[in-house]
Amino acid sequence: MFEKIIFATTGTPTCDHAAHVAFDLKKKYNSELTLFHSMGMPSRGFSPFVKDSRTGEDEYLDNDYADWVKEELKTYYAKQLAETEGVTIETSAGESHREILRAARKKDADLIVMGAHSRDEEPGATRYRNVVGSTMQRVAKGAKCPVLIVSRPCTTCLWYFSNIIFGTDFSKASYSAFLFAYQLAKEIGAKLHLFHAMDMTSIHSGKAVSQEEIEAAIADARKRIEKTYVAKMADYDNYEIEVWEGVPYVEILKFARERNGDLIVIASGWSDPASATRGTIMPPIVSRSTDGGRTWTESNFGLPSFEVIDPLLQEQQTEELAALGA
């Protein structure tokens, strides 16, 4: 499933859980695994000094320093490297998210694994490990492949996940994320939870919304999930549909906790207001259309490209064409 994996690490304990997952995935799928570390930004303009991303200290950037960083990474991950063959280590100087994305493009990676990127000794590091940091946000939005963020212990690892939460805003990119979540659920026999949250208050500019309106919107969203996703799952019946009212990113976390979710799959990238409804979880990725937006071609995380057609829009267009023909 994953042929080329980039493990973006700071070489500190905050990335230990992600390291466990990255090395296990490499063994599971016999993947190419690259340990990648961004050494830091030049301290001033074209200065030969970089601010070390681990210590925050200025270091003279030369081959000796780069070799020293690689040796430090080899020492830190000595146990995993001794048990795993075919792992490469690469470093680069620059903005962390840009260098990670550049490395992923260069390797044509189909998965980026990341851990928390704050240091244990930093004030509030424990708190910040539980939220998505700026580097992770930027990588998730800019990557052309899935990004797996691991900030807590993962004792079961990917192929033992039993509850996969797929959060959708009905954007074009969410369909790509759905195909990934669906393929993974089938491969490992997990239950797939198809989830959508609607921020009704923001849609109505803060005005009170009646219970009847909320219930009607929920019923409409369930119907759209069935037509857009369930119809594509053939005979796979290990799934459930849930639609909640509330702020999407809050509700999806509440739902994941309630269902003991092991993995949350959502789309990221640029917003597509024409297809997203009632608030987005994360802005979706860029899709390409050559026919004025009727169909879209998207990358399916290593699978063949495919056309995305909104079932409800297709149904409406069919009815309009039939009416014209009559």
**Gap between the Cα atoms of 267 and 172, Å rounded:** 9
User: Residues in the chain, how many?
Assistant: 326
Of 144, 196, 151, 148, the residue nearest 170 (C-alpha): 196
Domain boundaries along the sequence of the chain: 4-149, 161-319
**112 in Cβ contact with 139 (< 8 Å):** yes
Give phi and psi for 180, each to the nearest 5. -65, -50
**Gap between the Cα atoms of 195 and 284, Å rounded:** 16
Task: Give, in degrees to the nearest 5, the angle at Cα 198 between 192 and 307.
Answer: 55
The dotted CATH code for 4-149 is: 3.40.50.620
- Strand residues in the chain grouped as ranges (E): 4-8, 32-42, 49-52, 58-60, 87-93, 111-114, 147-149, 163-167, 191-198, 239-245, 263-265, 296-300, 303-308
Residue 286 identity (one-letter amino acid): V
pTM listed for this prediction? 0.70
CATH topology identical between 4-149 and 161-319: yes
**Cα dist from 284 to 86, 145, 249, 273, 300, whole Å:** 34, 13, 14, 10, 14
Q: What is the pLDDT of residue 202?
A: 59
Residue 264 identity (one-letter amino acid): I
Q: What is the pLDDT of residue 314?
A: 52
Under DSSP, the state recorded for 29 is H
The dotted CATH code for 161-319 is: 3.40.50.620
Q: At what angle do helices 134-142 and 96-107 cross, to 10 degrees?
A: 30
Q: What is the pLDDT of residue 64?
A: 84
Q: What is the pLDDT of residue 265?
A: 93
Regions of the chain where pLDDT drops below 50: 118-132, 270-313
